[in-house]
Structure 1
C-alpha cells in the first residue's frame, strides 16, 4: 500500500480499522456502570494493567463499596488490598482523600465537570476525560500510555506526551468518536502493538507497516 502522508487520511483509515476490529469499544475497566468504581479503578490503573486492576477491585469493593466507606477507612487496610497494583501507599492515600472530598463537596457523588473532577485528589486530565466520556456522555480523548505510544508511532501526533496527544487527536477525531477511539486503541495495543515489542508481522492493518507510514 502506498505511503499515507496526510494526518487526516491516516486517522480516518486507522479509525475505520479499529471500528471494524473492535466494534464494541468497551472500557477495559470492569466498573459495572458505577461512576465511583470507575474513578477508583482509574486511579489504581497507573503503572498497572487493567487486568490486575479488575481482579483487585473485586475484593476492594466488597470491603469498601462507596465513597463513605473509603472516607472512614484505615489507610493500611486499603493498602493491603491494593498492594498488587503497585504504588499502593500513594494510591491508597489519594483514594481516601478523594473519597473525603466527594463526601464534603459532592454528597458522595462523582461530579460531572472537568473542573470539579480535576480538583479531586489524584485526578488529572486522563481520568477526568475518561469519566466525562464513559459516565457523562461527553466524549473526550483519554491520553493513556497505549493511546500516546501508538498515536505517535503511527504519526498521528507530533510528540509522545499526554498534552500533545489530547490536543492533536481532539482536532483530528470527530467529537462523538473520541472516547470509542481511545478504548479501541487500548485493545489494539494489547493485541498487536505491544510495548516494547509490537507484533508487526501479525498486525492486520496495512497502514501500520513501515512501508505505508
Structure 2
C-alpha cells in the first residue's frame, strides 16, 4: 500500500506581503505628496505673515527712531539757539568746600581779565576824603557823591575845617546826595572825632574806624583797602547780589557774607576781589536785568538765564565803559581811561545824549522841616551806587 503523503503545512499567501507593501507604499506616497503640498501652502503663508510683521515692526521702529532723532536734533538746535552756544555750569548739589573754592577763584580770575582797571569809584585824594565820600554814598550813587564832594572839600579840606563848619551850609552842599541832614551829622561827627581823638588823622585800624560816626565795617574796609592797602572785603548791595547768584554763599547778612567769602580767598585777594565783583555788578550783572547774553563769565555762572540771553539785546543793557557811557568818577585812574573809560561830567553838566545810559534818578530829599528816618550808616541798604 502506498503511504499517504502528509499534507503540506499551509503557508500564508505570499501575495499578502506584497499587498501590504503596496498599500504601505501607496500610503507613504500619498503622505509624501500631501506633506509637500502642506509645506508649500504653509511656507508662503508663514513667510508672508512673518515678512509683513517684520516690515511693520521695522517700519514702526524706524519711525520711532527717526521721530526721536528728529526731536532730539530739534531740541538740541532749539537749546543752541536759546543759549547762543553758552553752556552755563551748574554746581553740584552737594558741592564740596574744595570744589567751591576752586570755582569761586576761577570766576575771580576771569573777572580780573575783564576788569584789569577795576578801582574804587569814589574820587578821593587822601584817607579823609575817602571816608567822608564813602559815608555820603549811602542811599545814592558814587556818581552823585563824586559830583558833590568837590565843593565840600574845596570849602572844608581838613577834619578840623569840617568839624567847625556851619551845619546849614554843609547841608546845602550835601543836599543832592539825599538824606543830607543825617549825612551832615555823620560827616561832621566823624570829623570832630578825628580832630579830638586821632589828631586829625584817619586811623588805619578796623577797630578804630568803626568807632567813627556813620562808619560801619563796609566803609571801614573801603578805607583800609584803598587808602591804606590793608585787605578787606566790601560787602555792598552789588557784592551781596552776585555772590548769592554764583552760589558762593546763601548768607544774607553782610557780616556773615563777609566771613563766608573770606574763607574762599586769601586775604591778599580781598580788596581787588571786591572791586572785580562790584564792577561786574554795575556794568553787566544788574539787579533787575542782567545782561547774560553779553556776560564774559556766562559759562561759569549757575544763574545764567535769569537775564537777557540774546547777545544783541544784552549789549543794550551794558553800562558805563562796557556800554560806551561815562563812568562814575570825575577823575578816574589813568588805567581806566586807557581802557576806554569816559570821565563822568561835573554836577549840573549833563552828559551827551549818546553817552547817557539812563537818566540819573533824582536824589531823595527831605522837606526843610523834616528829619530823615534813620542816620546814614556804613552799611547802607543800597550801597555805593
Shorter-chain TM-score bucket reads: over 0.9
Whole-angstrom CA distance in 2 between matches of 1:176 and 1:92: 34
Contact 2:245 2:303 in 1 (8 A): no
What residue is the counterpart of 1:49 in the other structure?
141
Report whether the alignment pairs 1:161 with 2:243: no
Report whether the alignment pairs 1:172 with 2:264: yes
Whole-angstrom CA distance in 2 between matches of 1:211 and 1:200: 6
What residue is the counterpart of 1:83 in the other structure?
175
CA positional deviation for 1:196: 2.3
Whole-angstrom CA distance in 2 between matches of 1:85 and 1:128: 20
What residue is the counterpart of 2:275 in the other structure?
183
Aligned match of 2:191 in 99, 107, 110? Answer: 99
Contact 1:158 1:164 in 2 (8 A): no
CA positional deviation for 1:85: 1.0
* 1:32-73 deviations in Å (ceiling 9; x for gaps): 2x0000000000111111111111111111111110111001
Report whether the alignment pairs 1:121 with 2:121: no
Whole-angstrom CA distance in 2 between matches of 1:176 and 1:42: 22
Q: For the structure 1 residues 211 and 196, does the alpha-carbon distance in structure 2 shift closer, same or farther, using more than 3 Å as the test?
A: closer
**Pairs aligned (count):** 212
Whole-angstrom CA distance in 1 between matches of 2:302 and 2:284: 12
What residue is the counterpart of 1:27 in the other structure?
120
Q: For the structure 1 residues 176 and 104, does the alpha-carbon distance in structure 2 shift closer, same or farther, using more than 3 Å as the test?
A: same
CA positional deviation for 1:164: 1.7
Contact 2:186 2:213 in 1 (8 A): yes
Contact 1:8 1:172 in 2 (8 A): yes
CA positional deviation for 1:211: 5.8
Query: Per the alignment, in what secondary structure is the counterpart of residue 168 of structure 1?
Result: helix
What residue is the counterpart of 1:207 in the other structure?
300
Whole-angstrom CA distance in 1 between matches of 2:117 and 2:186: 32
Contact 1:52 1:85 in 2 (8 A): yes
Query: Per the alignment, in what secondary structure is the counterpart of residue 240 of structure 2?
Result: helix
CA positional deviation for 1:113: 0.9
Once the two structures are overlaid, the 10-residue window that deviates more, 158-167 or 113-122, is: 158-167
Contact 1:200 1:209 in 2 (8 A): no
CA positional deviation for 1:74: 1.2
Contact 1:60 1:81 in 2 (8 A): yes
- What residue ranges of structure 2 are gaps of 5+ in the alignment? 1-86, 93-98, 306-385
Query: Per the alignment, in what secondary structure is the counterpart of residue 81 of structure 1?
Result: helix
Judging by fraction of residues, say which structure has more helix: 1
What residue is the counterpart of 2:222 in the other structure?
130
RMSD: 1.7
CA positional deviation for 1:168: 0.6
What residue is the counterpart of 1:3 in the other structure?
90
Q: Which one has the largest radius of gyration?
A: 2
* 1:61-90 deviations in Å (ceiling 9; x for gaps): 111111011100111111111111111111
What residue is the counterpart of 2:367 in the other structure?
none
CA positional deviation for 1:116: 0.8
Whole-angstrom CA distance in 1 between matches of 2:151 and 2:201: 21
